[in-house]
Structure 1
């Protein structure tokens, strides 16, 4: 599994069926492993649309890039 359950990801492309745009952020709630040679799938929730779960292929999502806060010694 490339993405961990309950991690946040961003869409790599628009999903017109749900009026979701590239860059929209959601949380992974399920993972669908596929046989070798096929792409794994994921269920996403938490878009600005309530009560929907969107199923996507692994290639349609990406990890959210977070900046790391570096703290100096005090």
Structure 2
């Protein structure tokens, strides 16, 4: 599934290096087209609750899920990475 750049998506995996968990919301800032050896991926920027960038990471396309109108965002403390 291809996502629109600068849209938001939810992680379907944990990324312990950055203290990120499945369900955390990321902003998709760059599409990285794969080939027969590499899957499509996205460069993602992650913000804290007040809008500061806390991480920039690359995530495979199949490790992202679209947000839907029947979901609600919530706040959690960022664990030290």
Q: So what's the TM-score if we normalise by structure 2?
A: 0.71
What residue number does 2:60 align with? 57
Q: Between Structure 1 and Structure 2, how many residues are aligned? A: 67
The C-alpha deviation readout for 1:39-67, integer Å capped at 9, x for no partner, is 10101113326253111111111101124
Q: CA RMSD in A?
A: 1.9
Unaligned runs of 5+ in 1: 68-74
Greater Cα offset, 9-18 or 50-59? 50-59
Q: So what's the TM-score if we normalise by structure 1?
A: 0.77
Q: Decide which structure has the larger Cα Rg and report it.
A: 1
What residue number does 2:6 align with? 6
Please identify which structure carries the higher strand content.
Answer: 2
What residue number does 1:72 align with? none
